[in-house]
Amino acid sequence: MLFLKASDGHELWLRKKNALPVNVVCAAKSATLSIAIQELQQGWQGKSGATLVLSIKKDKAVKADGFRLSQDGIQANTDIGILYGVYELLRRQQTTQPVENVLSNPSYELRILNHWDNLNGSVERGYAGQSIFWRKDNAFLVTANDKSRWLEYARANASVGINGSVLNNVNASPLILSADYLARAKAIADVLRPYGIKTYLSVNFSSPKITGGLPTSDPLDTAVIRWWKTKVKEIYSIIPDFGGFLVKANSEGQPGPQDFGRTHADGANMLADALKPYRGIVMWRAFVYAASDKDRAKQAYTEFVPIDGQFRDNVIIQVKNGPVDFQPREPFSPLFGAMKKTSVMPEFQVTQEYLGHSIHLVFLSSLWEECLQSDTYQEGTGSTVARCTDGSIYPQKYTAIAGVANIGLDTNWCGHDFAQANWYAFGRLAWNNQLKSEKIADEWIRLTFFESSSQNNKQASYAAEWNENFLQPVKQMMLDSREAAVNYMMPLGFHHIMSAEGHYGPGPWWAPPRVRPDWTPPYYHQADSAGVGFNRTRTGSNAVGQYHEPLASQYNDPTTCPDGLLLWFHHLPWDYKMKSGRSLWDEICYHYDKGVQQVRQFQKTWDKAQPYVDEERFIAVQRKLRSQSSNAVLWKDACLLYFQQFSRLPIPYDIERPVNNLDEMIANDMKRFR
């Protein structure tokens, strides 16, 4: 009988250990170093009674947050470098990795979570409860509970190297810059600081007019410039190490410099000038698209590449991984590598807006790894997205990466125990953009689930058994999970065919009159009796032309375009012959079916893993997998029956028949829009 401690998932990957004694020697003193010492004493799994020296020493090979590890100690240039070294050392001890002569430097200087948290406590695209930062009632009261949550949050972030938090939604309320909200931001910043986390705010570009009483928010207006300078000065008087602003401008109804006939560069530079004296930065989002029937996937590139080189050096353009919007699979955004004279940072979505919310088990590390390792060819072979953004190729004053957080007040933080792995993976990839998802999953499972109680240790073979019966199959499930979601949601390059209501479940039919076309699925799948897919080739929107050769030609030709992106770039007849020898229609059917089968396999994997998981987490995940499975069937039935109206071809007979009727699925979906 194994001994499994009950767990509600609150401790994340930082579960309490039976620590062995360690003697920590550290000459310097600071709040950060005290945390480092305490973590070692509470988590030491190395030789009992060992002595470990923490030393701050200048070393050119070690970057600001980096560190060296050896059996005897940790060396870094800064206190926070020491703390990161401590977390890495403990992680290595717990995951049985060697500790000898490790030199570790982060890929990105700024590793930031974006919280889409509203000031009333709700979270846009949040599936794990209310905001941990803001709330509606007693909005400005800072309680002991608040502080202890923020502290746990800070610790979890620091343990994976995250060093920045944008506290509020990019759809920003101008109220964030009022004295009361700034005071609360200061209270949060004070708790995050010892863990090396800087605080940033999203700002509304119209703030000077809305809250400042000015007649305009034109970035070239002298009163507006003065207003922002005064506001920035006030912020730094409250939060001296404030990080800077995140801005969503001229996108989805948000105000911006184009409202005044100015460019993105005019807007970003005005804010950057105000922040510059304090070493603050502006993260200016490239997620822009006008309501037009032109190809939305082309718009960010079309607006930003012509103004490359016009931005101040403390502006970073924040670019979503793909050209549309965090879909299960997209090609990488063509802006990566194309903006050669401006700092560019990737934005990933940790919260699962389009990937089944906190109901589906989808390990997103595979998606991000695919993006980071995509070759842009902008500066020859090997110009991957990772290298184009981490300073390896272009001299950027700042290097940065952002992840849209999946965190809320739920006890387990993320709504789904396995969604915690996505928070973990974002941090690990931000620290090292060359890490493999397999390694990240391996670490996370060991840290989150391995139960090294003395009772279990008595059974000599426990670790081997756990490895074979839990670690390996659960890891495989995680590694397969993203492709499974692509298969049952949007295979072969399909995108944006989800239900408009909440972006959960299928909705390929949704196109009410008067809704902007680029918000409707038929705009993206273009299904008709002749075929399916968006023609982005040279004969279509020519989005392929935004990619560097050889990609432009490769994507342009359906025989060389990767299957996974086929319908992203091509409109093809239903009987188009695929590389597999099947028709396109059959291939679509088999992909949807495969996705469903994969989730059924996940259910079996998890059920078999029961003896190795505490009851609470076992049941919680089991229930979620059931919902995922039935939702996968819904996706398959909805998409196959809907597209069959155009293909007029039979669903291959070795595939399970649909169990939902199309008219009922549509009626159910549309009911929500009345």
User: Can you tell me which residue has the tokens 């600081």?
Assistant: 193
Closest distance to ligand GCV from the beta carbon of 351 (Å): 10
User: Can you tell me which residue has the tokens 């938090």?
Assistant: 165
CA–CA gap between residue 433 and residue 130 (Å, rounded): 31
Contacts of 38 (CB under 8 A, 6+ apart): none
Give 349 or 412: the residue with its C-beta nearer to ligand GCV: 349
Closest distance to ligand GCV from the beta carbon of 559 (Å): 34
Mark out the alpha helices in 533-583 (DSSP H runs).
Answer: 551-556, 566-569
Burial-class residue 49 by CB neighbours within 10 Å (0-12, 13-18, 19+). Answer: exposed
Q: Candidates 44, 116, 462, 635: give the one binding ligand GCV (CB under 6 A).
A: 116
Cβ atoms of 288 and 268 closer than 8 Å: no
The answer to whether 125 contacts ligand GCV (rule: CB under 6 A) is yes
Give 502 or 650: the residue with its C-beta nearer to ligand GCV: 502
The answer to whether 287 contacts ligand GCV (rule: CB under 6 A) is yes
The answer to whether 589 contacts ligand GCV (rule: CB under 6 A) is no
Closest distance to ligand GCV from the beta carbon of 115 (Å): 11
Lookup: tokens for 88: 């890495």
The answer to whether 452 contacts ligand GCV (rule: CB under 6 A) is no
Give 503 or 617: the residue with its C-beta nearer to ligand GCV: 503
State how beta strands 281-285 and 315-320 pair: parallel
Catalytic option among 88, 109, 325, 518: 325
325 is catalytic: yes
Give 320 or 636: the residue with its C-beta nearer to ligand GCV: 320
The answer to whether 536 contacts ligand GCV (rule: CB under 6 A) is no
Closest distance to ligand GCV from the beta carbon of 406 (Å): 14
Closest distance to ligand GCV from the beta carbon of 116 (Å): 5
Residue ranges in 241-260 that form contacts with ligand GCV under rule CB under 6 A: 248, 252
The answer to whether 170 contacts ligand GCV (rule: CB under 6 A) is yes
The answer to whether 127 contacts ligand GCV (rule: CB under 6 A) is no
Q: What share of the chain is helix, strand, coil (3-state, %, to 5)?
A: 45, 10, 45
CA–CA gap between residue 523 and residue 521 (Å, rounded): 5
Give 125 or 617: the residue with its C-beta nearer to ligand GCV: 125
Closest distance to ligand GCV from the beta carbon of 169 (Å): 6
Give 295 or 483: the residue with its C-beta nearer to ligand GCV: 295
CA–CA gap between residue 296 and residue 518 (Å, rounded): 7
The answer to whether 569 contacts ligand GCV (rule: CB under 6 A) is no
CA–CA gap between residue 659 and residue 650 (Å, rounded): 16
Catalytic option among 252, 468, 575, 656: 252
Give 3 or 673: the residue with its C-beta nearer to ligand GCV: 673
Burial-class residue 145 by CB neighbours within 10 Å (0-12, 13-18, 19+). Answer: exposed
Helix (H) or strand (E) holding 67: strand 67-69
Closest distance to ligand GCV from the beta carbon of 349 (Å): 8
CA–CA gap between residue 55 and residue 504 (Å, rounded): 50
CA angle 406, 64, 12 (to 5 degrees): 30
CA–CA gap between residue 539 and residue 514 (Å, rounded): 28
The answer to whether 330 contacts ligand GCV (rule: CB under 6 A) is no
Closest distance to ligand GCV from the beta carbon of 15 (Å): 33
- Quick one: which of 588, 672, 594, 671 has its CA closest to 633? 594
Closest distance to ligand GCV from the beta carbon of 290 (Å): 14
Catalytic option among 79, 88, 117, 353: 353
Give 114 or 541: the residue with its C-beta nearer to ligand GCV: 114
Count of residues near ligand GCV by CB under 6 A: 10
Q: Could you list the beta-strand ranges (E) of 350-473.
A: 400-404
The answer to whether 465 contacts ligand GCV (rule: CB under 6 A) is no
CA–CA gap between residue 167 and residue 664 (Å, rounded): 41
CA–CA gap between residue 612 and residue 473 (Å, rounded): 12
The answer to whether 317 contacts ligand GCV (rule: CB under 6 A) is no
The answer to whether 590 contacts ligand GCV (rule: CB under 6 A) is no
- Quick one: which of 392, 396, 426 has its CA closest to 308? 396
What is the rounded (10 degree) CA torsion for 322, 328, 330, 333?
10
The answer to whether 34 contacts ligand GCV (rule: CB under 6 A) is no
The answer to whether 122 contacts ligand GCV (rule: CB under 6 A) is no
Report the greatest alpha carbon distance in the chain: 76
The answer to whether 205 contacts ligand GCV (rule: CB under 6 A) is no
72 is catalytic: no
Cβ atoms of 317 and 398 closer than 8 Å: no
The answer to whether 617 contacts ligand GCV (rule: CB under 6 A) is no
The answer to whether 115 contacts ligand GCV (rule: CB under 6 A) is no
Give 287 or 462: the residue with its C-beta nearer to ligand GCV: 287
The answer to whether 325 contacts ligand GCV (rule: CB under 6 A) is yes
How far is C-alpha 26 from the chain's CA centre?
36
353 is catalytic: yes
Q: Point out the residues that are catalytic.
A: 252, 325, 353
Residues of this chain that interact with ligand GCV (CB under 6 A) are: 116, 124-125, 170-171, 248, 252, 287, 325, 353
